[in-house]
Amino acid sequence: MRFTVVTVVSALAWMAVGCGKDEIRVYQAPQDAPPVAAANPQGKTTQTPLASEIPGSAASGSSSPARSESSASERPAVPWTVPAGWEEKPASGMRVASYGVTRPDGRSVDISVVAMGGGAGGELENVNRWRDQIGLEPATEADLAGLRSIIPAGNRQVVMYELDGKKAVLDGKYPARTLAAIMPAGEMTVFFKITGESALVAEQKPQFLAWLKSVDTGGGGESAPEASASSSAPAPASPAAVSGGSERASGGGADGLPNWQVPSGWKAAGPKPMRLASFDIPDAAGNGDVSISKLSGNGGGLLANVNRWRGQVGLAPLEAGALAANSKTVATAGGDSGTWVELVGTEKTILGAIVARGEVSWFFKLTAPSAVAAQNREAFEQFVRSIRF
Amino acid sequence: MISKLFQFLSSLRLTVVLLGLGVVVVFFGTLGQTSDGLYVAQEQYFRSWFAYWTPHGSTFPVVPLPGGYLLGTMLVINLIVAHFTRFKWTWSKSGIFLTHIGIILLLLGQLATDMLARESIMSFREGDTRNYSESSMDFELAFLRSAGSNTLDQVVAIPAVRLKPGDELHHELLPFGIRVKDAYENARIRLRAPVMDSNRPPAATQGVGARIVIDAQPPTRTMDARNVPAAVIELSGPSNLGTWAVSGELKPQTVTVEGTEWRLEYRSVRDYKPFALTLLKTTHETYPGTDIPKNFQSRVRLRNTESHEDREVDIYMNSPLRYGGYTFFQYQMGKEQLADGGRGTSALQVVRNPSWITPYLGCILVGVGLLVQFLMHLTKFIARRKPRAA
């Protein structure tokens, strides 16, 4: 009897351990209410769908779990050289990296790298958000050209904005200044930004520029973002992006260009304004020219672009309703579809494909003497069909 | 042989040794807490049968120790066996009897608390309604589909501990198998930046996983941070559904299998309640000129459709809400959280402990037993002194 009691108590104690914690649970539960709109670290509601899928510390409010902070030595290596004096801070939310500089008198600057999907809301909207943060009035699209400069980042040229606030927005004592560089990369846009007390930002500007220069942008070069196409200072494109043989490495796109198969006989051409890539088609009857460019939005409209091309080969513009009858749809290997036009003029022919993808439109265009264009028509169409974004 | 065993189990020497070992375990448990944190130390030293102490920085276990479960069980056995073998019931020993019952109740009550008590967190913003609280430590991979109505979900929840790389998991309600490709105890999710991550493939082929990378982080042991686990799983049903990245930081993703839409979510383990709380207002007061909190207060609306209750309650420091077997304590209310979008947020600690009464009962029994025993001795002593005085 006594022994039984002891056995029962021991057995109960044993059962108490590890009971049920590892079981798969099945239950019915009321559905969750739809989530509240997520906010990005800048404090505005984000436009990109991805941002709402990745809750940062700000996005998920109090339910966001605290994270452990790893030391700098445990972080993955970053593809740039961190300037001396910059202190690494834990990246959070959509930040890929975060640095800071603090002076004993309390002045500080914050340096961030943020990657966002697509155009991340557009250049004007981003610039105006930064302006708002340092107490500047919103700019208009027309103002942008005057505000931007083109600077080197790695082996590319990117757009940078320098915004100088006059109001004492920091602690009511100091005005703030922001330098922000925008680097399109594939389907994403990477923002490099330094912001903080005006004089300290100015002092750190050489470091910031050197930092951008040190960014490893990979093998391929690329021009400034397409938005700069509307500016008066078009950036040169690098031939490196398209010189790597007949087929671009798969899994690439790091330089913002899609993958494609280059027909034999095409030669990668040197830098040209407003273009992301160019090819020459050498021919005794006159060289053909292939250009690849990208514009934000619909690039001014499908019809307007087709009519501009028509003008270039001496054709009359089309009425809005006539475009469908004068174009066809072309599908790319990546599953995108575009509008294909063949504009045969008396001397020159333009073959073009316009592919709208989200917030940008891609333009693939072959311009050549009509005979050369005709000979290269199949090759150009195969080139367009081979494109994978 | 058996009588020798009983003699050993009932001996006072065993009691003393066990209590001494208890002191030693508490000592090494406290040392362990400094490097491993409270929760790990609790599991390792007190919620275990055997433990060992390893000096900080060493991987070699140095001091073997009995765990808390072993000591507790042995003490209960010692007490019960001693009671039955040596104790003879007389009125004069009723105080000792009560004291023993009280100690047994304390020990068993602690075991029951360990088994049954659950702590979780209910966090919400002003205006939000919650009918569940979330574990602060444990995660589960939940697969959800509509349960046929617009308001209910069928949930299959797999505990995080079951997600081990290489394992395959199946459940009769899931139309697909789950193969765990990677599992991280603590990880950070971020967008895959094409320039920076050109040498790293995306975490998964499907859903948001195709656009992110997972950075493994060292597990945290501190009290004010929390591990956020992540995993890469492969779903295979009638067809291969590709790989998916899941993380405590990601929102639900959707996969459609044979016309049924399933959502998958790696989330804190949830405990649903038969009632709901709505956060109406948060009050966050500090002492003037300082950041030292003076008062955290949450005004909540409690609604229970079954009992038709609908009332407002204030929860603040030292004034929890006790309802339906749960106790809701005011837990967190950060200043920066108050600034978030203008809506205050509040976190309540939710404690469910069905055996909360046992320590009180145990202490009362021990106290009464000691008092009875003392009074009996006192009356005997006085009775003995009286004739001498006379």
Percent of chain A with pLDDT over 90: 10
Which residues between 31 and 70 in chain A have a beta carbon less than 8 angstroms from any beta carbon of chain B? 31, 33, 35-36, 39, 50, 52-55, 58, 60-63, 65-70
B32-46 per-residue burial string, b: 16 or more CB within 10 A, e: under 16: bbeebbeeebbebbb
User: Has residue A189 been placed in a domain?
Assistant: yes
CATH number, residue A354: 3.40.1000
Identify the pLDDT of residue A180.
93
Q: What average pLDDT does this structure show over A9-35? A: 65
**Claim to verify: residue B67 and residue B77 sit in the same structural domain:** yes
pLDDT tens digits along A142-186: 788 788 888 888 877 788 998 988 877 777 778 889 999 988 776
Nearest CB partner across the interface for A54, out of B131, B146, B191: B191
Q: Provide DSSP, B13-68.
A: HHHHHHHHHHHHHHHHHHHHHHHH-HHHHIIIIISSSEEEE--TT--S--EEEE-H
Identify the pLDDT of residue B6.
86
pLDDT band of A188, cuts 50, 70, 90: low
H or E stretch covering A381? helix A370-385
Q: What average pLDDT does this structure show over A210-220? A: 75
In this predicted structure, the answer to whether residue A326 has a pLDDT above a threshold of 90 is no
Shortest Cα–Cα distance, A216 to chain B (Å): 7
For residue A107, what are the domain limits?
A: 49-57+78-219
Does B178 or B345 have the greater pLDDT score?
B178
Q: What average pLDDT does this structure show over B7-24? A: 93
Which residues between 174 and 193 in chain A have a beta carbon less than 8 angstroms from any beta carbon of chain B? 183, 185-188, 190
| Domain stop point among B271, B306, B327 | B271
Does A65 or A278 have the greater pLDDT score?
A278
**Claim to verify: residue B87 and residue B185 sit in the same structural domain:** no
pLDDT band of B159, cuts 50, 70, 90: very high
What distance, in Å, lies between the first and last C-alpha atoms of chain A?
A: 78
Q: What average pLDDT does this structure show over A226-247? A: 34
Does A251 or B204 have the greater pLDDT score?
B204
**Claim to verify: residue B111 and residue B144 sit in the same structural domain:** no
CB-CB contact of A99 with A81 (8 Å)? no
Identify the pLDDT of residue A127.
87
pLDDT band of B35, cuts 50, 70, 90: confident
Closest CA to B178 of B122, B118, B231, B256: B231
**Claim to verify: residue A178 and residue A304 sit in the same structural domain:** no
**Claim to verify: residue A184 and residue A243 sit in the same structural domain:** no
Identify the pLDDT of residue A144.
80
**Claim to verify: residue B289 and residue B300 sit in the same structural domain:** yes
Q: Which of A22, A54, A192 should we substitute to test contact with B (largest number of B Cβ atoms within 10 Å)?
A: A54
pLDDT band of A6, cuts 50, 70, 90: very low
Maximum mean pLDDT: which of A58-72, A356-370, B147-161, B267-281? B267-281
pLDDT tens digits along A80-114: 888 888 888 776 666 778 888 888 887 888 999 88
Closest CA to B213 of A192, A255, A76: A76
User: Has residue A351 been placed in a domain?
Assistant: yes
Nearest CB partner across the interface for B228, out of A52, A65, A256: A65
Nearest CB partner across the interface for A67, out of B156, B161, B225: B225
**Claim to verify: residue A202 and residue A53 sit in the same structural domain:** yes
**Claim to verify: residue B161 and residue B50 sit in the same structural domain:** no
Q: Which structure tokens are listed for A257? A: 């260009």
Q: Across chain B, what does the average pLDDT equal?
A: 87
Contact A69/B225, CB-based, under 8 Å?
A: yes
**Claim to verify: residue A342 and residue A283 sit in the same structural domain:** yes
Q: What average pLDDT does this structure show over B108-125? A: 88
**Claim to verify: residue B346 and residue B373 sit in the same structural domain:** no
User: Has residue A231 been placed in a domain?
Assistant: no
Identify the pLDDT of residue B303.
93
Shortest Cα–Cα distance, B376 to chain A (Å): 30
Distance from C-alpha of B166 to C-alpha of A273, rounded to nearest angstrom: 52
Sort out which chain B residues have CB atoms less than 8 A from A185's CB and list them: 193-195
Q: Which of A5, A40, A67 should we substitute to test contact with B (largest number of B Cβ atoms within 10 Å)?
A: A67
In this predicted structure, the answer to whether residue B20 has a pLDDT above a threshold of 70 is yes
Identify the pLDDT of residue A57.
31
Q: What average pLDDT does this structure show over A62-86? A: 53
In this predicted structure, the answer to whether residue A52 has a pLDDT above a threshold of 90 is no
**Claim to verify: residue A258 and residue A212 sit in the same structural domain:** no
CATH number, residue A156: 2.60.120.1690
Q: Which structure tokens are listed for B142? A: 């939940």
| Domain stop point among A186, A219, A252 | A219
**Claim to verify: residue B192 and residue B286 sit in the same structural domain:** no
Q: Across chain A, what does the average pLDDT equal?
A: 72
| Domain stop point among A161, A184, A219 | A219
pLDDT band of B18, cuts 50, 70, 90: very high
In this predicted structure, the answer to whether residue A61 has a pLDDT above a threshold of 70 is no
**Claim to verify: residue A244 and residue A270 sit in the same structural domain:** yes
Q: Counting one residue from A and one from B, how many pairs have CB atoms under 8 Å apart?
A: 200
Q: What average pLDDT does this structure show over A270-277? A: 70
pLDDT band of A270, cuts 50, 70, 90: low
Q: What average pLDDT does this structure show over B302-327? A: 91
User: Has residue A196 been placed in a domain?
Assistant: yes
**Claim to verify: residue B223 and residue B106 sit in the same structural domain:** no
User: Has residue A40 been placed in a domain?
Assistant: no
| Domain stop point among B238, B253, B271 | B271
**Claim to verify: residue A327 and residue A197 sit in the same structural domain:** no
Distance from C-alpha of B32 to C-alpha of B295, rounded to nearest angstrom: 34
How many domains does one find in chain B?
Answer: 3
**Claim to verify: residue A246 and residue A343 sit in the same structural domain:** yes
Identify the pLDDT of residue A97.
82
- Angle at CA B79, nearest 5°, toward B75 and B85? 140
pLDDT band of A272, cuts 50, 70, 90: low
Q: What average pLDDT does this structure show over A336-343? A: 89
Identify the pLDDT of residue B381.
92
Identify the pLDDT of residue A373.
83
Amino acid at B385: R
In this predicted structure, the answer to whether residue B164 has a pLDDT above a threshold of 90 is yes
How many domains does one find in chain A?
Answer: 2
Q: Coil, strand or helix: which one is A138?
A: coil
For residue B101, what are the domain limits?
A: 2-116+357-389
Q: What average pLDDT does this structure show over B175-196? A: 83
Q: What average pLDDT does this structure show over B368-385? A: 93
| Domain stop point among B243, B271, B299 | B271
Identify the pLDDT of residue A93.
60
| Domain stop point among A191, A219, A247 | A219
**Range in A64-68, A218-222, A251-255 the model is least confident about:** A64-68
